[in-house]
Chain A
């Protein structure tokens, strides 16, 4: 059984088909990129996979459960238990320190554990910045806090929406390296990006165009390492 399966999924806003009969499967431990131009339906797909939205039609099976039929409250619980979210804008709570931002995810999941949260920050190389507020961190550091927050509850899937969109090359590499590390530990990664260099790092790239899955590319030479053209 696939960890995630979309069967003939549609998302329709009035006349607009943000997703138009999309079907795909993601296996446990796989690293998948979703690429496409603006308005292709990447974020819509991420919202549906991330249990933040429901499809207009079709089935979305996450770990065998059809999440398209679940209530809003249950979706929140599923999202909390199974999914780690990484955002382009980081979305850190600005009045909490890096450590507290990581603990926030623990708090809404189960029980905050400062030691464990500090270990998560250590994994992303930010243990020494634990007591800093987001405004005192660089963009790359903020994104690494965001990664630490996403992985703190050991989710089944890490969903990253344009994770390197606001980062320079050096930080982009750090983040991709973190993804590689998570992948080798067995975490399933779905990365939504419009950056081909980031997309090509994954084992498989799905290309969306006008809400339809137009292409699927399997990376035969998968290394999990980013290669910049220049």
Chain B
């Protein structure tokens, strides 16, 4: 058993090394059939630049190609600017369809990632698929399957002794987090060439810090419990670095990951008939990780049917609704646009988590796609207008967050080993409320702007450029927060960092859960021993114990109803329930914990 697990670990490590190493294999040359110009004028300029630089057919390695592409576009830009200075744009062509303008970086990236790659990966995609995905799956299963042989029960031995799962001290954790946020702001400023929105974001961030420390009087209330007392989690930090690196490449540097995409080309062709995009790669990787780590959850919770059913549910929705069915729709429609910035429509994702739902190109795409497109549009709107309030009323937000959602699904499967690292301090809760509702407001404002532009054609509302707001939201919240911090920081701040602090949909679901839902977690009379397992393993950082030891039912907008507090309770104190009898009074604090009728009489007499 131990041997199988060791072999499994080695295979997984090997697969990760190959996955990273393969990026450098082979060469790229310019793909003359897919030059990135927006029109013939721009394409012609790029062609001319290629000829002048003698770059045609030049085979360069993956990193070198990025500079070649850069040279070509700079040259093309020079050529086009010269033409524009001389005679302006031709009749019937807009100035910015002619000039490359501020988007030179985008063209460089596009030229790089549409290049023709050749090499071992392209000639043997299946071999590399086996060496990466295959080995990781086999290794993962070798590690996980033996767990089924253990006797059912709570499996948390040694979590805080492991350098993978024990977390960091508060100060270094804060430094890493701050570095991540500031780095993202600076990069956003450089990448989007926009100073305004990073500045606005910084001001809002500083305001939030002010609110929490001064207005909520958190200053001086040191959150000792919020992080590990010792710095031991070097393996966790390594895992976090790998995840952060992956997301940076995926979102912001796709020109370097062409070999990963080529590797899954054959699978994409099988499923949707087209070449793979990086989003196809991401979807496939996501689905497979959730499947393998989902099996781990099934092994861990053999004794808990709620956990098992829930795990099957997230695995099913990811595989079918987020991955396979959209691929099939895509195949039926044959509209696999190259490198679409979002995956083929994920049927269970909804606005405002799916923040681009109302973006013009997606609305256009849906409207243009006949009955299937209209169905998608109506389905997407019905989900959040009717689905959310109705289901949250009956079952709480868990119906989505820990049963259906893909982000939640990844958190509950891949993220489960780190769930204890969520910060339970009061201060963290104060930050949470400001930030998640702040993102929610931002998502709504951004969408209003986008829809305004869609219907009026005007890019300016109250002097604000809707397009730059949209780009900033996508960059900072969509990629930076949800991806890099949300998933990359699993080993640092727990598996629900995005769901807890950022997700605008979770904010919306939470408001209904808090004010109008039958769902709550009940506490069993006076049986709580204040041990803290419930709080420790709450991935949303809810201090469950503070309610349980008072005998108070737990109604919190952030609770995703994962049911782990109930599972880990050694005294059977917590139960997730839906009851309509007392929706208005279910949060009332029970003044006494356990007292007989006589004593209550005496006490009431005195009070």
Question: Is this pair of chains taken from one and the same complex?
Answer: no
